[in-house]
Each structure stands twice: as C-alpha cells, then as structure tokens.
Structure 1
Amino acid sequence: MQALDDQESIYRVFSYRYKQTIEGLKAQGYHSADAKLNEKLSDHIKTEWTHFLSGTYGLCTRSGLPEDIAAKELAIAQINELTAQSELDESKIEALTHAVNLLDGASSMFAPHERQRSSRYRLVDEVRRKYKLQCQRHIEG
C-alpha cells in the first residue's frame, strides 16, 4: 500500500485484502451470519476503511493491516453469535475456541489501564474464563 500514491488505489488494495481474508477464514470454518460480513461486505469495508484511515485499528489490532482487521471483525461476530446462545454443544464450544483464538491473534494487548474496557478482555479473557476454553494462539497456515 505504501507504494501507491492515490487513495482510490490504496482503498482497492485494502478492500481486496479484507475480502480475501474473510473468504479464507470462511474456508477454514469460521462463520458469521452477520450481514455486514456477507451480503453487505462491500458497505462494511467502506466503514472499516474510515476507521483504518483514522488509525483506530493501529491501536486495537496487532498489525493495523486489513488481514488483522478482517480477522478481528469476523471473530467478534462469531463470538457474539455463539455466546448469545443458551447452550453450546461440543462442536459450538470448539468453534468458539477457534474464534477466540483468532481474535487473540489479531488483537493488540492494550495498555494495562485500558485492558478492563477492551474487546480483548470481554471477548478473549472473559469468554475463555466463562467457557473454560483452552488458550492457544491462532496461527495462520
């Protein structure tokens, strides 16, 4: 992206990388029914682009790159969908574990004074504690 000189070209690269990441994660078994990650993905990416430009994801993701942003968004959606259910069978616990590990791998650690209010605390630390999930870093293959 740094080699490109106009915002439109940079947006096309951002959008392409974001979509590729979402498609790749879905192929690996991650899932969300959220329309923003499915039929409204193009509109969602435009919103994410504004956050990217403002530096939001430079603070809350490990790299600030489209791949971590997309992984974080898909993981959050999947975690929220699974934890909203009253009961989770073994396959859903496994899916939840994978989603939490994905979010863990994409999210920044946050400064100590920010941790209690962070999405990492709510959706990684607390979900692991509540559901007794194993902590295993997400590794892209």
Structure 2
Amino acid sequence: MDQNFDYINENYITEDELCTVADISKDDLAALIQNQLVPQPSYTISRSIRIISPLNDEFENEITEKYFSKSCISLVKKNKELSNIHLYKEEFKENFIQNLINHPDKAFAYDSIFNTSFPEQEQLDEIFESEWAAYCNGIYGICTLHSTEEEIVKKEIAVKKLIHFNTNFSDKKLTTDESEELIRLSEEFNEVAQKFAPYQRKSSSRGKYLDKILEENNLDYLVKKY
C-alpha cells in the first residue's frame, strides 16, 4: 500500500464516513461547504480500476474519494442546524483576532505587523480574510491538527520563529544553548502542526524549516516519523 494513501487514510475521514458519523446527506454536506460552514476536503484521491474477465471483455473506471479533516465531524454536527450562515464566520474571526492579539510572540506573525504599533483594523481584516480563504479551502486540515482559530495563529507564529532561527543559524554548527532553543521551537511547532503527507513533506513548512535543520545538527530523533 502506498505510504501517502496510508497516511491520509489513517489521519483523515472520507466523505462517506463523515456523512455517516455526522448523520448528514452528501447534498447537505455540499451545502455546508458552499456556505463556508465546513471546509473543503483537504485531500482528493483518484484511482483508476480495470476489470477483465475470461470472456475477453474489460471495464475501466476512475474512483475519486474526498478526505476531510476529522475535526469536520464536530463542525458538521455544530453547523448543520445553523440558521444564520454568517454567524460562524463572525465567531471564527473574533476568536482568531483575539488569539492573535493575545499571543505573547505575536511580533513574529504576519510580516511583523505588531512590531511598531498596534495594526489598523483594516490590516487585521485583510489577514483574517486571507486565512479564512485558506481555512475554507481545506488547507488548515493539512497543516494543523484540528484546524482551530488558535492553531492557525500558533502555527503562523511557530513557523515564523523557525524561519527566524534558520536565518540566523542554518549555516553554522549550533551551540548547546542554540540546540536547546531549536528543541523548544520543535515542540512548539509539533503542538499544532500535522506531519503532512509524505509526498509533500519536503516542501512543507515542516520539511523546510524544521526537519532539515534538525537533521543537519544530529537531532534526527526529533524528526516526526510516519
């Protein structure tokens, strides 16, 4: 069995499974997605099948299966009866902005907009809309463990802190203190970040900013395995 399929099958839930567990039809699920009450599937797997028989006939078809973050189970149950389709986005935005404003390391986030002064509401709105689009597209089902507002903020900051660390130390042998700091950053990242499917691992934030520098400094045991 392909390692990518094993990873997705283990960590995500199919459309059929989601509908069964959340007690919803595929049409109603599609409506929730359309109304941005549930994110798009994070992965779509297509497989071609070919059937042949001794009768010298054959049949070919392509099977496509959508895979959602398991966090969508509770989300579907919560939002399938929501009468005000705008309420969920409003709550999500408020939680997102509060988590961002209250994070002690917010100065690392979003091009350091908190570095000099408190950002204008327009800037916060722009940041949120960008992250909301990514969330609705299923991206945070790939990048974070539970796709929550808090995790989106924490992952943004964890990644930016790793980028800052790599910028300063990726071309030198780390001291003991620097290695300990990298270990702390690794723990912070792993609190919220998925492992990513094997085929996308190297190009992901985990692969570029964490795996590589861990391996370069004999900290391979901290690299998340499948």
Same fold (TM over 0.5): yes
Partner of 2:189: 103
Question: Could you list the per-position Cα deviations for residues 95-131 of structure 1 after superposition, in whole angstroms to 9, with x for gaps in the alignment?
Answer: 5443332222211122222222222112221232335
Structure 2 counterpart of 1:118, from 204, 213, 222: 204
Partner of 2:168: 85
Gaps of 5+ in 1: none
Gaps of 5+ in 2: 1-74
In the alignment, structure 1 residue 58 sits paired with structure 2 residue 141: yes
Partner of 1:32: 108
What letter is aligned with 2:185? A
CA contact 2:109–2:157 (8 Å) conserved in 1: no
Distance in 1 between residues matched to 2:190 and 2:211, nearest whole Å: 9
Given the superposition, is the C-alpha separation of residues 96 and 22 from structure 1 closer, same or farther in structure 2, using an over 3 Å criterion? farther
Given the superposition, is the C-alpha separation of residues 128 and 10 from structure 1 closer, same or farther in structure 2, using an over 3 Å criterion? same
Report which of the two structures shows the higher radius of gyration computed on alpha carbons. 2
Moved over 6 A (4+): 87-92
Question: Could you list the per-position Cα deviations for residues 62-106 of structure 1 after superposition, in whole angstroms to 9, with x for gaps in the alignment?
Answer: 112212211111111121123222578877665544333222221
Q: SS of the counterpart of 2:197?
A: coil
Distance in 1 between residues matched to 2:132 and 2:89, nearest whole Å: 7
More strand by share: 2
Give the aligned CA root-mean-square deviation in angstroms. Answer: 3.3
More helix by share: 1
Distance in 2 between residues matched to 1:30 and 1:96, nearest whole Å: 19
Shift of 1:132: 5.4
How many residue pairs get matched? Answer: 135
Partner of 1:69: 152
Given the superposition, is the C-alpha separation of residues 33 and 51 from structure 1 closer, same or farther in structure 2, using an over 3 Å criterion? closer
In the alignment, structure 1 residue 130 sits paired with structure 2 residue 206: no
Moved more, 54-63 or 12-21: 12-21
What letter is aligned with 2:100? I
Question: Could you list the per-position Cα deviations for residues 43-78 of structure 1 after superposition, in whole angstroms to 9, with x for gaps in the alignment?
Answer: 211100011111111122111221221111111112
Q: SS of the counterpart of 1:63?
A: coil
Partner of 2:88: 10
